[in-house]
Amino acid sequence: MLQVSVLRNDTAEVKRRLAVKHFKQPELVDTIIQLDDERKRLQAEFDNTQSKVNTASKEIGKLMAQGQKEAAETLKTDVAGWKAALEPLKEQMARVEKELNDTLVLLPNLPGTQVPEGRTPEDNVVVREGGIKPVLPANATPHWDLTKKYNLIDFELGNKITGSGFPVYTGQGAKLQRALVQYFLDYNTAAGYKEYLPPFMVNADSAYATGQLPDKEGQMYHATEDDFYLIPTAEVPVTNVYRDTILKEEDFPVKMTAYSPCFRREAGSYGKDVRGLNRLHQFEKVEIIQLVQPEKSYDTLDEMVLHVEKLLQSLQLPYRLLRLCGGDMGFASAITYDFEVYSAAQERWLEVSSVSNFESFQANRLKCRYKDATGKTQLVHTLNGSSLALPRILACLLENNQGDEGILLPEVLHGYFGKKMVVAGN
């Protein structure tokens, strides 16, 4: 959530930056400032009235002690009137405060200065590419057929048990999934990230704190009786570890990693984008999160991007790094880098990681702060990234490494999987 002071300091610049995200209601900025003015006016009136009550109450005591009962009674009448005015003022303040907050949460985070303008994924900027695209025969098999050939995933069984987008991993498929999760967690913890295993459902306060509510209700599965939400990513529960917390300088950097299943309704998805593992309602992902001082957050962003890049390099997958344009960025992000890997059988790029700096946007909702060297309390900056999302990584590993004898896995997975190849008949 943006701070009102940011909107006030340079209203025109705020609107310009919101336009980079193609936000359609810039007039809300003016509405918020007006509501804040009204809140301040009511607060000043309340404080002034309360001050009169306090001062008069002390004066009544003095008058009574001096035997000036009539003057004291007159002042008591005044006090009663002032006290009667306080309750309506409280109600007005509460109403305006709620309206202010309800409007403020509709504003997305402001994009950083490095964010390119643009509306669609085609406007994203390719920062760099790495790895070598494999040359496959013309009849190369896409992963949805490979998973049948090697008995790795049963999509039809998942459809029977739950519905489309909920695959069942079997045999070597389940083992390879587990091997990838373990490798990703070991890679992250070796880099100093503390591992968490969080709840896979959160309350509304947690979803609100990281920006999923009220922006993404339609994409989240909601257990209505208990008002719990199935998490779309481990970012939500893990970042909330530090909700309502004041950190110290020596606590930084806070580095966390977690595995979780992720649940997303993905309403409106269709066509080739949803074939096989390309888009699921339930999938597995390993996440990294950092909380840092504001002046260090962009260096930390570069560090996290490099961390994910080296992980992709270890998997020997061809990849590219994109800086997302304003129109393709998430609601809470100030800047986002996406990693895509090349699917040789599908001949297309598939997103496998987003690394984002939220600056103070999430922290303001979380009320996550720290005391700097001067003792001043400030909001932290939060960052997170996928390290990595499994479905499309698995799809590309299968497609890019297929051969006549089986699927040859990258060397870093041999120990985790227990062998070098995925072969038929297991």
Residue 265 lies in a domain: yes
Question: What pLDDT digit, counting tens, does each position of 103-149 carry?
Answer: 999 999 999 999 999 999 999 999 999 999 999 988 899 999 999 99
Among residues 55, 70, 104, which one ends one of the domains? Answer: 104
Average pLDDT, the chain: 95
Which residue from 338, 336, 297, 277 is spatially nearest to 145, judged by alpha carbons?
277
Q: Of 78, 104, 130, at which residue does a domain stop? A: 104
Is residue 425 scored above 90 in pLDDT? no
Predicted local confidence at residue 269, as pLDDT: 53
Same domain for 139 and 95: no
Q: Are residues 337 and 234 in the same domain?
A: yes
3-state secondary structure of 256: strand
Q: Are strands 201-203 and 194-196 parallel, antiparallel or unpaired?
A: unpaired
Q: What is residue 272's predicted lDDT score, i.e. its pLDDT? A: 55
Residue 110: inside a domain:
no
Q: What is the pLDDT of residues 339-360, one digit of tens each?
A: 999 999 999 999 999 999 999 9
**Residues above pLDDT 70, as percent of the chain:** 98
Residues 150 and 51 in one domain: no
pLDDT at position 271: 55
Residues within the annotated binding site? Answer: 233, 264-266, 287, 351-354, 384
Q: Identify the helix (H) or strand (E) that includes residue 77.
A: helix 69-104
Q: Evaluate whether residue 113 is within a structural domain.
A: no
Q: Cα–Cα–Cα angle for 29, 34, 40, nearest 5°?
A: 125
CATH number at residue 200: 3.30.930.10
Helix, strand, coil: what percent of the chain each, to 5? 45, 20, 30
112 assigned to some structural domain: no
One domain, residues 259 and 374 = yes
220 shares a domain with 87: no
Domain check: are 295 and 158 in the same one? yes
Residues 200 and 327 in one domain: yes
Return the pLDDT at 215: 78
CATH at residue 87: 1.10.287.40
Q: Tell me: the pLDDT tens digits for 250-295?
A: 999 999 999 999 999 875 555 556 789 999 999 999 999 999 999 9
**218 and 290 part of one domain:** yes
Exposed, middle or buried, 27 (CB in 10 Å: 0-12/13-18/19+)? exposed
Looking at the structure, tell me whether residues 250 and 324 fall in a common domain: yes
Give the separation between CA 286 and CA 242, rounded to whole angstroms: 19
pLDDT higher for 274 or 36?
A: 36
Omega before 261 within 30 of 0, i.e. cis: no
Q: Give the tokens for residue 359.
A: 């600056």
The DSSP result for 105-146, as a single string, is TTSPPPPPTTPPP-SSGGG-EEEEEES------TTPPPHHHH
pLDDT in tens, 301-342: 999 999 999 999 999 999 999 999 999 999 999 999 999 999
**134 & 98 share domain:** no
Domain assignment of residue 80, yes or no: yes
Indicate if 262 and 319 belong to the same structural domain: yes
At residue 393, what are phi and psi to the nearest 5 degrees? -60, -45
> What is residue 351's predicted lDDT score, i.e. its pLDDT?
96
Residues that constitute the known binding site for L-serine: 233, 264, 287, 384
Domain residues for the domain of 148 are 121-422
Same domain (yes/no): 200, 247? yes
State the alpha helices, DSSP H only, in 262-357.
297-314
Query: What total of structural domains would you count in the chain?
Result: 2
Other C-beta atoms lying within 10 Å of the C-beta of residue 265: 17
Banded pLDDT at 413 (limits 50, 70, 90): very high
pLDDT over threshold 90, residue 214:
no
Q: Would you say the pTM of this structure is higher than 0.75? A: yes
Q: Is residue 111 part of a domain?
A: no
Which of 55, 79, 104 terminates a domain? The answer is 104
Q: Which two tokens stand for residue 90?
A: 């409280």
Residue 107: left (phi > 0), alpha (psi -120 to 50), or beta?
A: beta
Region 38-66: what's the mean pLDDT? 93
Report the share of the chain in percent with pLDDT over 90: 89
Mean pLDDT of 41-52: 96
The DSSP code for 272 is: G
Identify which of 296, 292, 411, 289 has the alpha carbon closest to the alpha carbon of residue 356: 289
Beta carbons of 362 and 343 less than 8 angstroms apart: no
The pLDDT value recorded for residue 274 is 74
Rounded to the nearest 10 degrees, what angle do helices 172-190 and 297-314 cross at? 140
Residue 109 lies in a domain: no
Of residues 265, 288, 274, the one with CA closest to residue 219 = 265
Q: Looking at residue 266, what is its pLDDT?
A: 78
Is 225 a member of any domain?
A: yes
What residue numbers does the annotated binding site for ATP cover?
264-266, 351-354
C-alpha dihedral, 81 to 83 to 88 to 91, nearest 10°: 180
